[in-house]
Amino acid sequence: MKVVLLVEDTQDLLEEISLILEMEGFRVIVANSGHQGLERLQEITPNIIITDLLMPGMDGFDLIEKIKKDPLLMAVPIIILSAKTNTSDKKRGAMMGVSAFIGKPCKGFELVAAVRSFC
Amino acid sequence: MQSGRVTRRRTSDSNRSGAIDSESRNTAAELIKANRELALQNIEKEKRAAELLLANLELAYQNEEKEKRAAELIIANQELLYQNEEKEKRAEELIVANAELKKERRQRGIITDRLSFHLENTPFGFIEYNVQMEIKSWSRQAELIFGWTEKDLKVLKKSGFQFVHADDQQLVAKLINDMTSGKVISNKGQYRSYTKSGKVIWCESFNSALRDDKGQVVTIMSLVQDVTESKEQEEMSRRRLELLVEERTCELNEALQKEKELVELKSRFISIASHEFRTPLSTISFAAESIRTYFHKLSATQISKKLIKIEDQASHMVNLLEDVLTIGRSEAGKIKVKRISLDLQEFIESLIEETRSTVLEKREINFSFLCNDRMISTDDTLLRNILNNLITNALKFSDSDKPVGIVVSNTVGHIQIVVTDQGIGIHNDELTEIFESFSRGSNASTIPGTGLGLSILKKAVDLMGGTVSVVSQPGKGSEFTVTMPLQ
């Protein structure tokens, strides 16, 4: 079973996305912030990471930067799922080696298709 | 000829009679002699007649000549008469012209006198130069302006003194050169000059160059006026204008800066608002899709929870929309203060009851009304916004077992509302940002909210001419104080 790390600070959304991914056969590990996401990554190396950008404390970009610097994690594909949909953020994500940038709101099947295509 | 034949006949008659008579011969001789004499006389007469004829002819010719001469003399006489007439006419014309000339000279004299009078009595100093720019005339006004007399000028000339201020000498040289070179016949200029007292004055001169028939400059005339006063006024006006321009530029820059800030704020607001709408929309979209896609796999409770979530997120979006519109209206200056007279104690009590009814748990709200007068003049909509946000926040950010306090008191001309809670509090470094739109405390991320409540509260207090302040300690609670003028 493929493991997905889902980093999202909005609890309701976290629950909804988790449910869809689980229904589609993924094991979902959740984190409410960038810090929590890093903590989870100390315990497990997921097949893919889905992260929000605007989060209190450590934001999505800080988290991605840290992941990309970690030799054990740098190859893990990352999908940004954010309500920030401006071009500069998309460019920044692409420059950091992010696999996909999906803007909120999106359809569950779109997210699932993206996750499947990268792991 | 006739007389000749008569003579010959008489001779033959005498010869025939001589034979007969000697007396007759003598007589005949005498007759012959007389005949000869007669003949000679006739010849002489003939000669004389011829001479007379010639003389007559000569006389006739001379008469003709005389007549011609007389005719010529008549013509010449007529010519002379004509010439005399012309001369007389010319003489008359000369007399008239002379009279005109005299009149003109008299007129010129009058004009010169008048001009001289005017020149001496205008504020202009009249200065006349020759082509070498040596002063030829220096009017009384010129003396008054510069302080120097014509005598002084001669002394000054020898000493090589320059009237014109060093900084303006180039300008004056150009003015002169333009006229002497024939580039212009007149010009004007402003420059600084020294006076006898050593003072520097501003002069305005109107110059003209007079030329002869060959185009050579004869004299240059300058009419000089002391314009120091107007120049100083002009300078003061210019400085005032510069200051004004500087002030206006500052104001414009400030306005521009404010406009930029406003544009940035609006852009940030739109970006944040968009983000704030996208998040609940995502939850609604994912929840609805889950119900539709996994309907048969989900339990009734799960579906119910999702539907409640959809409902909550939809109402959250409605609240968000309301708040965004309120802020938009207040920023556009569309919210006007409409004061009415109301019973403040009753107003707050009813608001507390209203709030209590929306909260699931029973909450302790301690309300103290310490004002002397219950009736105040205020805008009920704005006051509701202020109190609603204060009370809702106090309840929302504190545990359900912690009480919330509301104390309303009045000072001179002001009303003070203090709302306290024992909730999560606000970090010190976030205290200044919490009144900005979409700003939320870092410890409040798990508590639902739009981040617009305190921004709306601040705008309402501002509109009422009041102030809002906060004292807070993370983990211990917050105290918000709103002070508003009664009128």
B225-245 tens-digit pLDDT: 999 999 899 889 999 999 999
List of chain A residues whose C-beta atoms are within 8 Å of the C-beta of residue B279: 10, 13, 83, 104
pLDDT of residue B4: 46
Q: Are strands B375-378 and B340-343 parallel, antiparallel or unpaired?
A: antiparallel
Residues B201-213 pLDDT 10s: 999 999 999 988 8
Whether the CB of B383 is below 8 Å from some CB of chain A: the reply is: no
* CB atoms A12 and B275 under 8 Å: no
pLDDT of residue A85: 84
Please, what's the b/e burial string for B162-172 (b: 16 or more CB within 10 A of its CB; e: otherwise)? ebbbeebeeeb
Which residues make beta-bridge pairs with B472? B478
Q: What share of chain B is helix, strand, coil (3-state, %, to 5)?
A: 60, 20, 20
Q: Is pLDDT above 50 for B6?
A: no
The burial of B365, by beta-carbon neighbours within 10 Å (0-12 exposed, 13-18 middle, 19 or more buried), is given as middle
List of chain B residues whose C-beta atoms are within 8 Å of the C-beta of residue A101: none
CA distance B176 to B180: 6
pLDDT of residue A81: 96
Q: Is pLDDT above 60 for B340?
A: yes
- Please state the pTM of the whole predicted model: 0.52
* CB atoms A12 and B297 under 8 Å: no
A-proximal residues of B, 289-308, CB under 8 Å: 289-290, 293-294, 297, 306
* CB atoms A105 and B313 under 8 Å: no
Q: Is pLDDT above 50 for B430?
A: yes
Q: Tell which residue, B474, B485, B425, B480, has the closest CA to residue B454.
A: B480
Whether the CB of B467 is below 8 Å from some CB of chain A: the reply is: no
